[in-house]
Amino acid sequence: MERFKNKVCLVTGAGSGIGRATALAFGQEGAKVVVTDVNLENAEKTAEILRGQNVEVLTLKIDISDREEVENMVKKTVDTFGRLDCAVNVAGIAGTLSLPTHAYPMDEWHKQINVNLNGTYYCVKYQIEQMLKQGGGSIVCVSSAAGLRGQPYNVPYAASKHAVVGLVKTAAIEYATQNIRINAICPTAIETPMIMEGRRKLAYNPEALEAAKNYQAMKRMGQPEEVADVALYLCSEQASFMTGHALPVDGGAFA
C-alpha cells in the first residue's frame, strides 16, 4: 500500500524513537520524506535507511525552539520538493527531574515550554502557512498521555503537552473548511530512548519499568512503530473526516 505516493511528508524529531519510525513508515508508503532533528547525526542515520530503500530524502538539523530555523525548515522543504503535504511534529523533550510543582527549577520549566509548546507552535504556524498556499494538507502533533491527565512531579512536561492539545484543537477548528486537518496523538509508555533513558530511567529500573507496563491494560510497553501507524492513518485520506482529535495510543490505559 502506498497511501503517500509522491506526497511530501515532514517529520520533526526523526532521529530516533517515534520520529524515526514515522519517517521510515512514510518512506515505505511512497512519500518523499523530510527528516529533521536537533541531532544531525541521528537524522542522517534515519535518512541513510530511507535512501537504502530508494526514498527521496531531505535531511535538516533543526532546533524547533528557534523560530527562524523552523521557518527555514518549511522553506527548504518547499524549495526542494515543491510542496508540503503532511507534517508529523514529534520533536520534544522530557525533563530529567522529578520534583513537586513549587520546587521545579524555573530554567527547566522554560526549557520544556520553549521546546514542547513554543517549538510545536512554530512548526504548526509555518506548516499551516504553506498548506494554505497550496490548498490543504494534514498535520499531526505528538502530545502525550501527560497531555490528557496530570503527571505528578513533572509539571512542565504535563503543562506543555496539555497546551499542545489546546493548540491542535483550536487550529483544527480555524482551518477545518480550508482542507487542512490537524490532530494530536497522546501516547502512554512507548519504548523509545526518551522514556527508557530519561527521567525515570526505565532501562535501568526494573520496578519503574514494570509499573509503566502495568499502567496499560495490555501490560506491555508500546512500540514506536505502533504510534507511527496511527500518525500515518491520521495523515491519510482514510481519516478525511477527522480533525481536532487528541487520540490516545495507550494500550487501554484510559479505558
State yes or no: is 157 an active-site residue: yes
Beta strands in 48-136 (DSSP E): 57-61, 86-89
Cα–Cα distances (Å) from 203 to 85, 92, 152, 198, 246, in that order, read: 37, 20, 21, 9, 28
Q: What residues are paired with 32 via a beta bridge?
A: 8
The candidate with the shortest Cα–Cα distance to 146, out of 178, 105, 194, 179, is 194
Instruction: Considering the candidates 157, 175, 204, 233, report the single residue annotated as catalytic.
Output: 157
**What is the C-alpha radius of gyration for the chain, rounded to an integer number of angstroms?**
17
Cα–Cα distances (Å) from 45 to 1, 49, 209, 229, in that order, read: 25, 7, 28, 21
Phi, psi dihedral angles at 166 (to 5 degrees): -65, -40
Q: Is the dihedral of CA 253, 200, 222, 163 positive or negative?
A: positive
Q: What residues are paired with 208 via a beta bridge?
A: none
Cα–Cα distances (Å) from 55 to 25, 108, 134, in that order, read: 11, 38, 23
Q: Which residues are catalytic?
A: 157
